């Protein structure tokens, strides 16, 4: 079964750091672009960052550039999101997402999400 399972969320103080992980299974992880998408409480979906299958190309939304770093370990089939200098507005559920091959680059597999709360 194709699956993405996030972990690492929690409560962190403003200015703090957190690393999210996403364990992938059921597909050849290194063949896919992977993304992080977040959703603030009661709000819509916002794209955060992406990384190529080989890990050499990354991209991020302006709102997180310089604070968030996406990375991957293909040997461990794991995607990461290192977040630093966190702000209250970073509070959200963070989804690990696969960009599909045969679906016009749509996001075809989503994890269940991990909740990040930035508060003092």
Of 65, 86, 80, 74, nearest to 32 (Cα)?
74
Structure tokens at 86: 């966190």
Q: How many residues bind other proteins (CB under 8 A)?
A: 24
Half-sphere exposure of 32 (CA within 13 A, CB side): 27
Q: In terms of CB distance, is 42 or 56 closer to other proteins? A: 42
Place of tokens 């200098």: 85
Interatomic CA distance for residues 93 and 25, integer angstroms: 21
Q: Kindly tell me which of 3 and 13 has the beta carbon lying closer to other proteins.
A: 3
Please state the closest distance from residue 23 (CB atom) to other proteins, in A: 15
Selected range binding other proteins among 8-16, 19-27, 54-62, 74-82, rule: CB under 8 A: 54-62
Radius of gyration of the chain, Cα coordinates, nearest whole angstrom:
14
> In terms of CB distance, is 46 or 71 closer to other proteins?
46
Is residue 49 within 8 Å of 57, Cβ to Cβ?
no
Q: According to the binding rule CB under 8 A, does residue 62 interact with other proteins?
A: yes
Interface ranges with other proteins (CB under 8 A): 35, 37, 44-47, 50, 59-63, 95, 100, 103-108, 110-113
């Amino acid at each position: 079964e194709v699956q993405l399972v996030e972990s690492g969320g929690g409560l962190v103080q403003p200015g703090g750091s957190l690393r999210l992980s996403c364990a992938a299974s059921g597909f050849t992880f290194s063949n896919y672009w992977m993304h992080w998408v977040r959703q603030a409480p009661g709000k819509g979906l916002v794209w955060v960052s992406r990384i190529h299958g080989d890990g050499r190309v990354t991209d991020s939304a302006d709102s997180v550039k310089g604070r968030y770093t996406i990375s991957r370990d293909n040997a461990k089939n794991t995607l990461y999101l290192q977040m630093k200098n966190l702000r209250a507005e970073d509070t959200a559920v963070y989804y690990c997402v696969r960009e599909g091959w045969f679906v016009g680059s749509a996001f075809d597999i989503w994890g269940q999400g991990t909740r990040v709360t930035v508060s003092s």
